[in-house]
Each structure stands twice: as C-alpha cells, then as structure tokens.
Amino acid sequence: MPLSLWEILLQQAVNGLILGSFYALVALGYSMVYGIIKLLNFAHGDIYMTGAFICLTAFGFISSVIGGIPGVILAIVAAMMFCAVLGFLVQRVAYKPLFDAPRLSLLITAIGVSLVISNTVMVKTNSQYMFFISGLDNTAGFHFGEITITYIQVVLMVFTATLMLGLNRFISRTMWGKAMRAIASDMDTCRLMGINVNTVIGITFMIGSSLAAVAGGMACVYYGNVHYFMGYIIGMKAFTSAVIGGIGSIPGAMLGGLLLGLLEAAGTHFFGSAWKDVFAFVILIVMLIFKPTGLLGKTVIERM
C-alpha cells in the first residue's frame, strides 16, 4: 500500500533527526575546539570511529554478563571514557606544542593525526566490516499508519537532546564553561588572570571526544556495523553542520547538525541515496558563498 504524504513526511523527519543527531554530536566537538584555539580538528571524525569500535569491543565483553539496554549503556560509557583519554592525549602530544605556531601547522598536524588513527584501526581490523548485535528489538515502537517509529529511535533522539541541553547548560552556567568562553575571547588575558589555559583546553578536547564517542556508540546500535572508514564521511558532514550553524557556536552546531540531517533526508527522498553526499556538500558550498559565518555565527574582527 503506497504511503500517504504525511506518512512520508513523518518518516523522513524521523530519519533526518536521527542522522542529524549523529552530525550534531560530532559537530559540537568541532565547534568547541575551533572556538577556543581556532583549530579545525579533522581527526575528530576518527575519534567518532574509534568510539564505535570501542563500544563494539566493550559490548562483546559486557554482554556475557549484562545484556540488553544496560549492556549497551555500559559499552557506550566505556567508549566515552576511552575517547576522552584519547582526545586528551592527542591534544597534549600533537597539538599543544603547536599552539603558538601558524594555524596551517596545526591543520596539517590534525590531518596527520587523522591518518594515524584511521590507519591504525584499519590494520587492527584488516579493513573488515564488523557487526554489532545488541539483541534489542529493532521493530517494536509506535505505529502511525504504515509508519513505525521504533523505541530505539525515540531513545536515541531523547538521549541526544539531553546531552546537547546539558552541554549548553555546562558552557553557560559553570565556572569551567565560563573559562572556556573567556579563553575563546582572549587567551593571553586569561593566562594573565591566572586561568590554567592548558587544563581548560584539555577538558574541551575530552568533552568533545566523549560526545563523538556517544555518537559512534549510537551508530553501532542503530546501523549494526562499523568500519574503519566510517569516520571520514561523518567528519566531513559534521564539519558541514558546524559551518551551517556557525563554527565556534555551540547552539549553532546543534542546529546545523539537525538541519543538515533533515535536508539530507529530504534530498535522499527526492534525488535518491546516491546523491545524498553531493546534496550535503552543495549545501556547504552555498552556505560558504552566501553566509560564511553560518546561521548563528558572528563576524570576527581581527585585532591588530
């Protein structure tokens, strides 16, 4: 039986929000790091990929003791902890020595870190797809006509919304968040005022990497497979999301991710899945041409 118009719109909206949730969580890491040290951390997509593999591996050990939703949650927490440490080490070893170097040096280093992480995982997995069997029911859910919104989809969207709202509150209400915003405004003055800049930057990398790991773990559950190359495309899409929302803006990263997910779902429906990546990057090009600061970004005036 053909789907009605409202059923098609509902299905694409759900698909877009799920996809946008992944983009938004990864885009938050891009925006947080760029906002503080003006670095486009192109290794961030590989942190997402690493989180997916750690979630898969951890669940393999945990499921023998605790299965189902508790096991999945513990596996995602393990991925968050591992990626938080990985993000901190990457910042401390690869980026910290170059904070005073030209931005191009940092960018090249970020590309190098990305290649190191992705190729390490490639060697460890022999370039093979690995499958995540959670044991959760992927068909149960709420029925609207011929459309089913599964419980897993609802949980993923609610969990993502909770994380994004919690991060926004952390940035705007806590002392650590205020320190991050202060460093983004004037790092040298913060040093003179006694703020431990290196510690705050390290915490920023840890938070961003943890959110990427959450997205990777949720992708495990939702798609059921992981691959060493999965971080590249979502890294580019998350960067696109950050640019759409206004890179450096936390609410902008959230908005940009969700908006790109919805637009990509609509583009996939009308133009076919083969064009979805083309559609996403066309949006990036158009945004850079007509509004390079993004929807919620601000024009930055360089001080001489």
pLDDT digits (tens, 9 = 90+) for 29-88: 999 999 888 888 989 999 999 999 999 999 988 888 887 788 888 999 999 999 999 999
**Tokens 């170059």 label which residue?**
98
Task: Report the pLDDT averaged over residues 239-252.
Answer: 89
| Within a domain: 38 | yes
43: its two tokens: 């290794």
| Within a domain: 272 | no
Contact at 8 Å (CB) between 72 and 134?
yes
Residue range 214-226, pLDDT digits in tens: 999 999 888 888 9
| Within a domain: 45 | yes
282: its two tokens: 């066309």
Q: What is the pLDDT at residue 1?
A: 55
| Within a domain: 131 | yes
pTM: 0.90
Domain that holds residue 87: 18-136+147-230
177: its two tokens: 């968040």
| Within a domain: 127 | yes
Say yes or no to pLDDT of 182 above 60: yes
Q: Is residue 195 packed enough to be buried (19+ CB in 10 Å), middle (13-18) or exposed (0-12)? A: middle
166: its two tokens: 């919690």
Question: Of the segments 2-16, 183-197, 201-215, which one has the largest average pLDDT value?
Answer: 201-215
Q: What is the pLDDT at residue 304?
A: 37
Q: How many domains does the chain have?
A: 1
* Residue ranges in the chain assigned as alpha helix (H): 5-37, 44-62, 68-90, 103-125, 151-173, 175-185, 187-192, 197-223, 230-245, 250-271, 276-290
**Tokens 């997509």 label which residue?**
45
| Within a domain: 170 | yes
| Within a domain: 74 | yes
Going from the C-alpha of 29 to that of each of 62, 254, 278, the distances in angstroms are: 28, 11, 24
Residue 116's pLDDT band, with cuts at 50, 70 and 90, is very high
| Within a domain: 119 | yes
